[in-house]
Amino acid sequence: MQTTNHKTDAIIIGGGLAGLTAAAFIARQGKSVRLLEQATALGGRARTKEQDGYFLNIGAHALYRAGHGIAVLRELGIEPQGKPAATANAYAVQHGVKYTLPGGLVSLLTTSLFGLSAKMELGKLLGSVQKIDCQPLLKMTVREWLKQQISHDEVSALLQAVIRLSTYVNAPDLMSAGVAISQLQKALSQGVLYLDKGWQTLVDGVREVAVKAGAVIETGAKVERIERHADGSVKAVRLADGRLFESNVVVIAASPKLAVSLVENGETTALQGWADQAIAVKAACLDLALKRLPVEKATFALGIDQPFYLSVHSAAAQLAPAGGALIHLMKYLPAEQNEANEADERGLEALMDLLQPGWREVLTQRRFLPSVVVMHALPLAKQGGTQGRPEVEVKEVPGLFVAGDWVGKEGVLVDASLASAKLAAEKIAAYHPVSRAVAV
């Protein structure tokens, strides 16, 4: 078996945004860092495919301006370039009919989606949502909270759609209301950015910071196992090609399932419990590139009776060549549905027919992804939402750290990935492998 013996202070497994961010912060501490990514390109779920001047993220991606992630990126000197998602020309779609989406006061007054009394209830809620204290609601499900607070079914349905939009989670009976409302507050307070040239710009930006700080990054490097000292602490990582890289500190910046499989006897650690409990949040994505947009003033739609989404991302950000359009559609898959079926795909196309009739004639690229993991662990009410997620430090395996959208108490989606990556780097700065090994 081939062996390489360059010992580094830390090894990062996974070259998505979490792994790259951890690498950048650790390297900035003056430590030697090696990042190993199994794919031939960096970025994981934040990759962007560029073709003929169109930039396709893996499904709809929006960066929360009030989120923790943007703050972490700024700490690394990265200012995401993009535009706020356009909120004009937005529709709510119910039973195949489009209505003005009531997001603000004007649209609330003009929409025919529901009657006066429901409008008043929604108006009152929209006016008070920022004042809600989310902490006491962490152990309550979204469904329980809606039942307690909302009397009109149609308002409840709209709120569920808006929660799907801001969290990607379509599981009101499982999701923590505290987490959902906290995310809604972020969405309503500062909105989101669609990024010019896609999320790849974040990947490239963080990679550059990490490399400048001295991190060594290798793609096409699949890690198969983490080897441990007799005292259980981290010793080295073994690659699929047989190479061995030594380090007393390893960060797994990938899925909880992978974490279990990499650690020898991982099934006897807390990792197994996290992997067992994690319910992945998935979406089906239809990504479309058009030569032109058939209907200029129809750039956003949110399904009310169906968990569908449509947004013309190029209406805000630079994602298509002059005159062209880049559109993301999605079905937020319910927890019990693993992947989209034929009817779901037809349903998304029907939404395009409703908003953008004639789109098929100007189609230049089409990609359907029946099931992608948006978040590795749905923030469950029964676990107290994000408060119940694992910590970055795996205490039973000294030297092992985890980062990703399923780790730490901070936020959801990329906010959780970036916050946990930064926290892992901070914990590593305070971790002393040698003294610990001696003590054992």
Ligand X SMILES: Cc1cc2nc3c(=O)[nH]c(=O)nc-3n(C[C@H](O)[C@H](O)[C@H](O)COP(=O)(O)OP(=O)(O)OC[C@H]3O[C@@H](n4cnc5c(N)ncnc54)[C@H](O)[C@@H]3O)c2cc1C
User: Given the rule CB under 6 A, which residues bind ligand X?
Assistant: 13-19, 36-39, 44-46, 58-62, 222-223, 253-254, 258, 283, 285, 372, 374, 404-405, 413-415, 417
Contact 330/309 with Cβ under 8 angstroms? yes
Which sign, positive or negative, has the C-alpha torsion 166, 310, 111, 317?
Answer: positive
State in angstroms the smallest separation of the CB of 374 from ligand X.
4
Phi, psi (rounded to 5 degrees) for 52: 50, 35
Nearer to ligand X by Cβ, of 15 and 198: the residue is 15
Distance between start and end Cα atoms, the chain: 30
Q: Which helix (H) or strand (E) holds 439?
A: helix 433-439
Nearer to ligand X by Cβ, of 48 and 94: the residue is 48
Nearer to ligand X by Cβ, of 254 and 340: the residue is 254
**Cα–Cα distance list, 388 to 18, 160, 199, 383, 432 (Å):** 20, 23, 29, 5, 27
Phi, psi (rounded to 5 degrees) for 420: -70, -35
Nearer to ligand X by Cβ, of 36 and 263: the residue is 36
Q: Quote the CA–CA distance of 340 and 334 in Å, as a whole number.
A: 10
DSSP states along 199-210? THHHHHHHHHHH
Which of helix, strand or coil describes residue 49? strand
For residue 17, the Cα-to-chain-centroid distance in whole angstroms is 10
State in angstroms the smallest separation of the CB of 16 from ligand X.
2
Long-range contacts of 344-351 (CB under 8 A, 24+ apart): 344/284, 344/370, 345/284, 345/286, 345/370, 347/306, 347/308, 348/284, 348/286, 348/308, 348/310, 349/286, 350/96, 351/93, 351/301, 351/303, 351/308, 351/310
Nearer to ligand X by Cβ, of 159 and 260: the residue is 260
State in angstroms the smallest separation of the CB of 336 from ligand X.
19
